[in-house]
Amino acid sequence: MANLIVARGDRSLRSLIDTDGGTVSRELYVNEDIFEQEQEQIFNRCWLFLGHESQVPNPGDFIVTRMGTEEVLVVRGRKDNQIRAFLNSCAHRGMKVCRYDQGNALIFTCPFHAWTYDCNGSLVGAAYQYAPYAYDGGIDREQWGLTPVAQFKNYYGSLWATWDPKAPSFEDYVGPFAEGIRYDCEASDGEEAGIEVFRPFQKWRLPTNWKVPAFSSSTDLTHAAMTHRSVNAASIGPDRGTMSGGERHKRRAPFPSDRFAVGDHNLGHGGNWTVYQQPGVPEYVDTWFEPGVDEYFREARERKAMKYADRILPPHGHEGGHFCVFPNFIMDSWRWRWWHPHTVGVVERWSLFGIDKNAPKPVKDAVRHYVMRYNGPTGATESDDMENWNYVYSASRGARARKRNYFFANGLGRGIESDQYPGVVFNGTHTEEAHRARFSRWLAFMEASSWDDLYPINRAKSHRIW
């Protein structure tokens, strides 16, 4: 295979995106060299989603999660109750110090040479540490703790981290989408950080490049009618099929608003963006088959209406629509999906699903059963996405196939740049504006040798390429 990238930050990648024609070379998806560079340039620098605080409610609780190709241990401190995150690799010789998915621990002892860490990641012991014929007390504990993430953020209960100490704050990284994340972490009655997630993570493998789903599944309204043609037959909706697909929109209460697909070309995020023309919240519309559930949500909506009585709803999240956080996280109301690359042709999909932490059990059960039959490898809706995303990859790898660019020109040239948010381009709901913004940001990350070249550290910079 040809070496496409000569050096880190090589600008030859720019030739793989035809910004006038609105096309992207398939090399971005199938080339191993590019994949390796992405790990360094993107996954080692970006803020990545780890999980939710309700997965580690008590001191000593831990989960093992991932940041791209690497495992990360998330643990709540026993003394200070703070959540921290570390690379799951022993400082000594690299063995995984934790091989359990979830649990409660006093310490983490590496099974190789018994290097032992506390819940703060500090080295507290090692085999033969004081033996005069071995280390003789010579291990510097300060230096040989677990590798912590460079920055960690608990944002309304959602947990995020970056390996890059020079990355901007989480709020600056997500920019205008911070409000959507806050809103999706809000309970249905408006309580801030009022949700918990159902455990455990859903995890499964898909043979494709990580960007196939991560860069094109939010917002892609044009795929639904064909990809999900069969799902109405399964009657999996919250109402168990008492309304057909065509009737569903009639059940949404009218509320004056304009809906767009947006792409933030400086930050790479994008998705639905709803501009509400008046404060308040739409009236609740009955949705659920299970008795008692609509009553709960209707009552919660009334309390939420008081919170937003004089306030315009956030433009995305919940009713506003789903959106993605660059590079690999998609937030669809309480359904959170993200994509960990493994190799150039294998991605591991993880999901979490939220619910009001104070909801009564019948409400939690109804929502839980709904998300199980909708999402994941046994989800009647998502399973059809997997088929498409899988065979996109194998049909794009050949010497001939990779010479034909992918078409991303839907809406190209019709977007309108926001005055209020630099880099954010508004476009029609069924355009590929959000997709194009991902590639603007992808190229910026692949070319930049440091955060000095990247928005928002360098606020004079515009990354929009098309």
Partner 1 sequence: MTERANVSLDAMDRVVLLKDIEQFLYMEALLLDERRLTEWLDMLAEDIHYWMPIRRNVKFGDWDLEFSDPDSEISYFDEGKDILVGRVRQINTGVHWAEEPVSRFEHIVSNILLLEVNGDEAKVSSKFFCYQNRLQDEVNLFVGRRYDTLRSDPDTVFKIAKRDIILDQNVLLPKVINTFF
Residue 200 within binding range of partner 1, rule CB under 8 A:
yes
Q: How far is the CB of 417 from partner 1 (least distance, A)?
A: 37
Residue 384 within binding range of partner 1, rule CB under 8 A:
yes
The correct pick among 23, 383, 429, 462 for binding partner 1 (CB under 8 A) is 383
**DSSP letter, residue 23:** E
Strand order, beta sheet including 61-67: 83-87, 70-76, 61-67, 102-104
Q: How far is the CB of 361 from partner 1 (least distance, A)?
A: 8
Residue 390 within binding range of partner 1, rule CB under 8 A:
yes
Q: How far is CA 223 from CA 191, 388, 432, in A?
A: 34, 10, 11
Q: How far is the CB of 233 from partner 1 (least distance, A)?
A: 5
CA quadruple 193, 351, 164, 73: dihedral positive or negative?
Answer: positive
The C-alpha atoms of residue 186 and residue 355 are separated, in whole angstroms, by: 9
**Cβ proximity to partner 1, 26 vs 364, nearer residue:** 364
Q: How far is the CB of 244 from partner 1 (least distance, A)?
A: 14
Residue 130 within binding range of partner 1, rule CB under 8 A:
no
Residue type, 67: M
Helix (H/G/I), strand (E/B), else coil: 232 = helix
CA quadruple 446, 451, 453, 457: dihedral positive or negative?
Answer: positive
Of 27-35, 53-61, 194-202, 276-284: span binding partner 1 (CB under 8 A): 194-202
Q: Which of 15, 11, 34, 3 is nearest to 453 (CA)?
A: 11
How many residues in the shown chain lie near partner 1 by CB under 8 A? 42
The correct pick among 364, 436, 438, 463 for binding partner 1 (CB under 8 A) is 364
Using CB under 8 A as the binding rule, the residues of this chain from 219 to 278 that contact partner 1 are 227, 229-231, 233-236, 240-241
The C-alpha atoms of residue 330 and residue 322 are separated, in whole angstroms, by: 7
**Cβ proximity to partner 1, 154 vs 227, nearer residue:** 227
**Cβ proximity to partner 1, 153 vs 199, nearer residue:** 199
Is 324 in contact with 336 (CB distance < 8 Å)?
A: no
Is 422 in contact with 247 (CB distance < 8 Å)?
A: no
Q: How far is the CB of 229 from partner 1 (least distance, A)?
A: 5
Residue 207 within binding range of partner 1, rule CB under 8 A:
yes
Using CB under 8 A as the binding rule, the residues of this chain from 76 to 105 that contact partner 1 are 99-103
**Cβ proximity to partner 1, 197 vs 313, nearer residue:** 197
Helix (H) or strand (E) holding 437: helix 433-447
The correct pick among 376, 415, 422, 423 for binding partner 1 (CB under 8 A) is 376
**DSSP letter, residue 42:** I
Q: How far is the CB of 171 from partner 1 (least distance, A)?
A: 30
For residue 273, the cross-strand partners are 260
Helix (H/G/I), strand (E/B), else coil: 382 = helix
Give me the residues that bind partner 1 (CB under 8 A), please.
Answer: 99-103, 198-200, 202-207, 227, 229-231, 233-236, 240-241, 348, 353, 364, 368-369, 371-373, 376-378, 380, 383-384, 386-388, 390
